[in-house]
């Protein structure tokens, strides 16, 4: 039986992790822009995981794959592998009812696809956009191959899922690239602007207010909050 939408996500855990990442990102904003950007990218990846927790067909909304490729290209493939691996495992950290066996297999698929990023980048004549497309194709090709090793049923399930996921990956990659890239189809670099800090700060301020409202409501015993309480945070 599926869980209600508000119970699929470990809201408090997500909130505290996000708040910590934002504070650290703000601290490093001028000191070390690279660390600041990676922390902000991580937080955005966590939040865009949420649609995929509601429906697997919305997984490609997650911006984590986009940032994985960006980190692999601009910092290093090993760093990209680490970022992508942690992004995959953010699912069971912040979501309930996760199948750890499937998460383990997908994380291996992501590692292999990320290792191919430099080759894809070279093959596409250093086009970041086409590298993103190539990463998605490599990811689902490896995913399909690995599922065939499990069973025909698993292969058919992944095939059915891929028919929706791959086109959606192309659309979301194009959309994210239009925001973070530039007209020459090359990424502008690993950095964040003050606008992203303000938007992220406003979002976290909203949830902080909601969290404080929950605290007051619990004290007064007059109601609940958007952020559900958890026994295990």
Higher pLDDT, 10 or 148: 148
Give the best-scoring range by mean pLDDT among 43-52, 167-176, 201-210.
167-176
Confidence of residue 78 (pLDDT cuts 50, 70, 90): very high
Confidence of residue 186 (pLDDT cuts 50, 70, 90): very low
Residue 95: helix, strand or coil by DSSP? Answer: strand
Determine the pLDDT at residue 191. Answer: 52
DSSP code, position 233: -
Residue 98: helix, strand or coil by DSSP? Answer: coil
Mean pLDDT computed over 181-185: 44
Determine the pLDDT at residue 116. Answer: 96
* pLDDT tens column, 58-71: 778 888 899 999 99
Contact of 64 with 87, CB cutoff 8 Å: yes
Q: With 70 as the cut, is the pLDDT of residue 192 above it?
A: no
Residues in the chain: 233
Q: Look at residues 117, 132, 114 and name the one whose alpha carbon lies nearest to residue 185.
A: 132
Q: With 50 as the cut, is the pLDDT of residue 226 above it?
A: no
What pTM value is reported for the model? 0.76
Two structure tokens written together for 209: 């207010």
- CA torsion 59-16-33-64 (nearest 10°) is -10
Determine the pLDDT at residue 148. Answer: 86
Distances (CA, A) of 105 to 53, 100, 139, 149, 150: 17, 9, 12, 12, 11
Angstrom distance (rounded) from CA 187 to CA 137: 20
Higher pLDDT, 230 or 33: 33
DSSP string, 168-203: HHHHHHHHHHHHHS-TTSS---S---HHHHHHHHHH
Break the chain into its structural domains and give their ranges: 5-197
Distances (CA, A) of 149 to 21, 102, 111: 38, 14, 18
> Of the given ranges (94-98, 175-179, 196-200), which has the lowest mean pLDDT?
196-200
What mean pLDDT is reported for the chain?
A: 78
DSSP code, position 149: T
> Which residue's entry shows tokens 């090709």?
141
Q: Does domain 5-197 have CATH number 1.10.1760?
A: yes
């Amino acid at each position: 039986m599926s869980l209600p939408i508000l119970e699929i996500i470990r809201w408090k855990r997500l909130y505290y992790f996000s708040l910590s990442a934002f504070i650290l990102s703000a601290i490093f904003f001028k000191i070390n822009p690279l660390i600041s950007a990676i922390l902000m990218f991580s937080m955005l990846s966590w939040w865009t995981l949420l649609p995929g927790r509601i429906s697997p067909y919305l997984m490609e909304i997650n911006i984590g794959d986009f940032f994985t490729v960006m980190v692999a290209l601009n910092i290093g493939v090993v760093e990209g592998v680490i970022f992508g691996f942690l992004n995959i495992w953010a699912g069971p950290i912040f979501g309930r009812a996760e199948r750890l066996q499937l998460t383990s297999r997908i994380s291996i698929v992501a590692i292999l696809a990320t290792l191919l990023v430099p080759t894809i980048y070279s093959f596409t004549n250093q086009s970041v956009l086409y590298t993103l497309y190539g990463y998605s194709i490599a990811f689902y090709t490896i995913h399909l191959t690995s599922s065939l090793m499990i069973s025909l049923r698993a292969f058919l399930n992944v095939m059915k899922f891929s028919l929706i996921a791959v086109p959606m990956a192309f659309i979301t990659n194009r959309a994210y690239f239009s925001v973070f890239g530039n007209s020459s189809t090359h990424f502008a670099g690993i950095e964040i602007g003050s606008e992203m800090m303000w938007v992220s700060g406003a979002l976290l301020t909203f949830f902080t207010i909601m969290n404080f409202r929950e605290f007051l409501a619990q004290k007064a015993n007059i109601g609940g909050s958007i952020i559900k309480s958890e026994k295990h945070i």
